[in-house]
Amino acid sequence: MLRSILAVVAAIFTWFLTATVLNLVLRATLSGYSAAEPTLAFTLPMMISRLALGLMASLAAGLACAAVAKRGIAAKVAAGIMLLLFLPVHYILWAKFPIWYHLFFLITLAPTMLIGATLVRRPAVVRTSATV
């Protein structure tokens, strides 16, 4: 149980850490991004970059969750919590972005985290048979 709770916390922390680092990369590499960010006046390439950032953060969060949890439903719980955290954010920002942006982010958030969780490799179980 404790391991599952830690896995959920690790997933949420990883999502926000990854998103923050990738957002800094966007600021440094995407022309005009820093100027557009305060007012959220993003161009189409900027919005697509932000959505790609969200996908990468979700994959990383799923990986982190599965690496800590080892098994169980922690990744599903973390994905559900992340969706619940972002629903009010997107409601507040509804008029700032086109509907496809909100839908893409919200619809892909949980499945991408779950995909990330499946990418963690588990050691193969070695079975030995005793001969008599």
Least confident of 41-45, 63-67, 102-106, 125-129: 125-129
Q: Measure Cα distances from 123 to 70, 120, 130 in Å.
A: 11, 10, 22
Total domain count for the chain?
Answer: 1
Q: Read off the pLDDT band of 67 (50, 70, 90).
A: very high
Q: How far apart are CA 47 and CA 50, in angstroms?
A: 5
Domain that holds residue 107: 2-118
Q: How confident is the model at residue 120 (pLDDT cuts 50, 70, 90)?
A: confident
For residue 50, being part of any structural domain is answered with: yes
Q: Give the Cα separation of 54 and 19 in Å (integer).
A: 7
Whether pLDDT at 127 is above 90: no
d(CA 56, CA 8): 17
Considering the domain boundaries, does residue 87 fall inside one?
Answer: yes
pLDDT of residue 121: 74
- Measured CA angle at 109 (ends 108, 114), to 5 deg: 95
